[in-house]
Structure 1
Amino acid sequence: MHSTRAGPAEDTVPGLPAGPVVLAWLTQFLVGTDLFVVAPLLPHIAASFAVSAADTGLLVTAFSIAYVVASPFAGWVSDRWDRATVLVVALVLFSAANVGTALAPGFGVLLVARVVAGIAAAATGPTVYALVSTRARPRARAQVLAVVGSGLLTALWVGAPAGSLLGRYVGWQAAFVILAAGTFLLAFPHAFVWRARPVPAAASPSGASQRAGRPGRGVAVSAVAVTTLWAFSVYSLYTFLAVALHSDGRATAVTWLLVVYGIGAVVGGQVGGRFADRADAVRVTRSALALTAVLEAVVALVFPVTWALACALGLFALAAYAFFPAQQRHLVDTFPERATAMLSWNNSALFVGLSLAGAAGGQIVRALDYPALLYLGAAVAVPACLVARGRPARTGR
């Protein structure tokens, strides 16, 4: 079965030829850059439209809400229509939304453009993940997901800072024009690559999943609820790290500590993907959640000491981001007929957890301190580990 799909490029990325994986990685990188670059550009946008910094924060909120609301519907559509077509339409819409962002004559139009961008991104990310996961060899599925997902993580510490520098020296509109051009150009190869590669029979779920039939709604809800708890735990630490360091008089350490965190996250994703392909995916998610809880508490303990904080942050990111490709593999294996829909719900769950971390975290840091927020994040990872532990038994019967 595999011999019909093999080729020289397949040695580059296990489970799938390098071309589609690179294309998927670039897509995630550009969409991720668009997501992360808005925050550092907010001061420039505020100056352009003569609005307050608080008002420009609505741009991030509008994008996030649009993403959370649209993602499940986009996944449902993608599972019922041709995924390649859905992806191409989403990329063209995403490109148009970024053109609208760059050319917006007023703040109201800009806000609408970000809503459209959020809707398009909701259809892009999960569809890309579903396409690569269902076409990868089953034994390398999580590895391929991890490689593609690293595009999003790379956007966090490479794409967003680059866009911020571009906005500072050329103008914030230039960043969105480049993103619009990039995503529009990517739509063309996506229109052909996936149509030429039908889903192989070997990409079907494991025998245990086949015997399980279609898991119920309760199993699906508990599966994605784990992602919400994980996201709260991880992003309560990340969101307020720079603020806490500034308040502590260590502003000069922010950049290189974030680089350490970003590198740890990329490595963690690769490690998690490899282990998920060699062992039970749920066992990997459970182990990652347990280590996340322990290491987040360690970060809280060593926070006053910068060198120890750097070591703890790198290890925390490695453990925390090992969870995500394993979780994605578990969802695709358990819900093969609803793969895109489940990955869409999973991404929505991530945004819900991220939003809750931002809303609750600010209040906790203000009332107590940053380490107290980290202890809470570590505590939240514990029930996530317990919920993840019960899923194999329920889905395997």
Structure 2
Amino acid sequence: MVLLERHIKPAANIHVATRVEVGGKLDSSGKAVLVVAWITLFLIGTDLFVVSPLLPFISQTYQVDPAAAGWMVTVFSITYAASAPLFGRLSDRKGRRGLIVFGLGLFALSNALTAYAPTYGWLIASRVLAGLSVASVTPLIYAAIGDMAPSHRKGTWLSIVVSGHLTSLWIGAPLGSFLEHAMGWRFIFGLMAVAGAVLSATHMKLWKTAPAARQASFTAGNGAAMAASVSVTFVWAISVYALYVYLGEGLYSELGASPSEIALSVTFYGIGAVIGNLISGQLTDKFGVVNISNATLLLLAAALIGLGFTFTAGDWVYLLLFLWALTGYAAFSSYQARLAAQYPLKRGTAMAWNNTALYAGITAGSFAGGYVISAFDSFILPFLSGGVALAGYVLSVILSRVRK
């Protein structure tokens, strides 16, 4: 039986092919979309995560301290968070293809500038452009996938492309460290510039635009509703990153973990994140986005509190780290699918605001975690993070009932 994809609603302004599944399986066009989207998010994630292990070498190149070099991440994040909602709203009105192609072209340019920046000032400017480029790509790809995926497979499709970003956390960053040792840090950014240019051309051929249509006005009422919806992601990010940012410090101070043991911990975490993300897509398609997003937030709170009780229990910590990431990223992916279903006519705007909430939550979580470990002790963090996740669950349940 051939499943015909419905024409995308005018608000989406994008389609790829009229058939995406045959007999319940992806056809060639659907596979191409998912593969290219996965590679794109893997590349973008690598661009973000690879900076941390490269900072010592970059700071030596420009004769600045590591804190100053860290502004590469700061200006990137601020630019991304500030500009993503603008690109999201533009994509809902004008279509996604042009902005995605533009963003990847700018990504190539910004990474080329990073690779050849003659001064520290040029380096920071290049990362501002990088943040701007990613803001016009990442949330729009999520929205585009939500547009074209069959209604009974949206969760699965979104989880597949999100796994590209998560995979870069535990493959892209270590690979970058290896390449730095072999070729130098400038080579890495130059390589990403070439990859960005190739992907820009690929996306131009991949997506086909549909006629743009006028959108319903974005009133204060539905703007407030969207802000309330993405606040769950903000709380989720605090609960996860207040602990994750200082995980290595906590394992070292509380368990006396060696560098290799800390690396193994991150590996368990990364594998759990990818598996949780992929599982959540299938579960949301089967049981519904509201049920799974609420349930996984509750399980995340339980996993974090359980981690608190086993934080000093030796090898048990690896299992709890795995379960933490499994439930945490299942919660993130299922909630993202929930937003895609909740705002079909403003999917680009919703995905963009959700990513802004994510970055804001990461920032708030890192500040909160730093305060806790300096004022109290690292072993308290899992319990506090679990309490925040529980608050996120309560908020999610309230919003789902208000929505009904």
Q: Normalising by the residue count of structure 1, what TM-score does the alignment of the two structures yield?
A: 0.92
Residues 355-397 of structure 1 deviation map (CA, whole Å, 9 limit, x = unaligned): 111112112112212221221111111121111112233334x
1:361 to 366, 369, 373: 369
**Counterpart Cα distance in 1 of 2:238 and 2:95:** 33
2:64 corresponding residue in structure 1: 51
Segments of structure 2 that go 5 or more residues without pairing to the other structure are: 5-17, 212-218
2:98 corresponding residue in structure 1: 85
Q: Which amino acid aligns with 2:331?
A: F
Q: Which amino acid aligns with 2:279?
A: V
Matched-pair contact (CA < 8 Å) for 1:9–1:18: no
Specify whether residues 9 and 83 from structure 1 end up closer, same or farther in structure 2 by C-alpha distance, changes over 3 A only: farther
Matched-pair contact (CA < 8 Å) for 1:268–1:321: yes
1:295 corresponding residue in structure 2: 303
**Counterpart Cα distance in 2 of 1:10 and 1:344:** 30
**Counterpart Cα distance in 2 of 1:228 and 1:263:** 23
TM superposition shift of 1:57: 1.2
**Counterpart Cα distance in 2 of 1:137 and 1:215:** 29
Matched-pair contact (CA < 8 Å) for 1:10–1:17: no
Matched-pair contact (CA < 8 Å) for 2:293–2:338: no
Residues 240-261 of structure 1 deviation map (CA, whole Å, 9 limit, x = unaligned): 1112223342122011111111
1:271 corresponding residue in structure 2: 279
2:317 corresponding residue in structure 1: 309
Is 1:175 the counterpart of 2:182 in the alignment?
no
Residues 333-344 of structure 1 mapped to structure 2, 5 A cutoff: 333-344=341-352
**Counterpart Cα distance in 1 of 2:246 and 2:31:** 37
Matched-pair contact (CA < 8 Å) for 2:159–2:277: yes
Segments of structure 1 that go 5 or more residues without pairing to the other structure are: 200-212
Residues 1-397 of structure 1 mapped to structure 2, 5 A cutoff: 2-3=3-4, 4-6=18-20, 11=25, 17-195=30-208, 216-247=222-253, 248-251=255-258, 252-396=260-404
Q: Which amino acid aligns with 1:223?
A: S
Specify whether residues 195 and 377 from structure 1 end up closer, same or farther in structure 2 by C-alpha distance, changes over 3 A only: same
Residues 14-43 of structure 1 deviation map (CA, whole Å, 9 limit, x = unaligned): x97211100000000000000101111100
Specify whether residues 80 and 6 from structure 1 end up closer, same or farther in structure 2 by C-alpha distance, changes over 3 A only: closer
Q: Which moved more, 1:184-193 or 1:242-251?
A: 242-251
Supply the RMSD in Å over aligned alpha carbons.
Answer: 2.1
Matched-pair contact (CA < 8 Å) for 2:251–2:262: yes
**Counterpart Cα distance in 2 of 1:381 and 1:275:** 20
**Counterpart Cα distance in 1 of 2:117 and 2:177:** 19
Specify whether residues 96 and 10 from structure 1 end up closer, same or farther in structure 2 by C-alpha distance, changes over 3 A only: farther
1:209 corresponding residue in structure 2: none
Q: Which amino acid aligns with 1:391?
A: L
**Counterpart Cα distance in 2 of 1:331 and 1:103:** 40
What SS does the aligned partner of 1:137 have? coil
1:205 corresponding residue in structure 2: none
**Counterpart Cα distance in 2 of 1:10 and 1:155:** 29
Specify whether residues 391 and 174 from structure 1 end up closer, same or farther in structure 2 by C-alpha distance, changes over 3 A only: same
What SS does the aligned partner of 2:64 have? coil
**Counterpart Cα distance in 1 of 2:23 and 2:273:** 26
**Counterpart Cα distance in 1 of 2:221 and 2:240:** 28
**Counterpart Cα distance in 2 of 1:130 and 1:7:** 19
TM superposition shift of 1:318: 0.7
Matched-pair contact (CA < 8 Å) for 1:225–1:349: yes
Identity of aligned residues (%): 34
2:15 corresponding residue in structure 1: none
**Counterpart Cα distance in 1 of 2:26 and 2:233:** 30
Specify whether residues 222 and 250 from structure 1 end up closer, same or farther in structure 2 by C-alpha distance, changes over 3 A only: same
**Counterpart Cα distance in 1 of 2:228 and 2:381:** 25
Matched-pair contact (CA < 8 Å) for 1:7–1:17: yes
What SS does the aligned partner of 2:312 have? coil
What SS does the aligned partner of 2:152 have? helix
**Counterpart Cα distance in 1 of 2:358 and 2:56:** 26
**Counterpart Cα distance in 1 of 2:190 and 2:46:** 13
Q: Which amino acid aligns with 2:314?
A: T
Q: Which amino acid aligns with 1:65?
A: I
**Counterpart Cα distance in 1 of 2:205 and 2:198:** 13
Matched-pair contact (CA < 8 Å) for 1:214–1:335: no
What SS does the aligned partner of 2:208 have? coil
TM superposition shift of 1:9: 11
Q: Normalising by the residue count of structure 2, what TM-score does the alignment of the two structures yield?
A: 0.90
Matched-pair contact (CA < 8 Å) for 1:303–1:371: yes
Specify whether residues 137 and 8 from structure 1 end up closer, same or farther in structure 2 by C-alpha distance, changes over 3 A only: closer
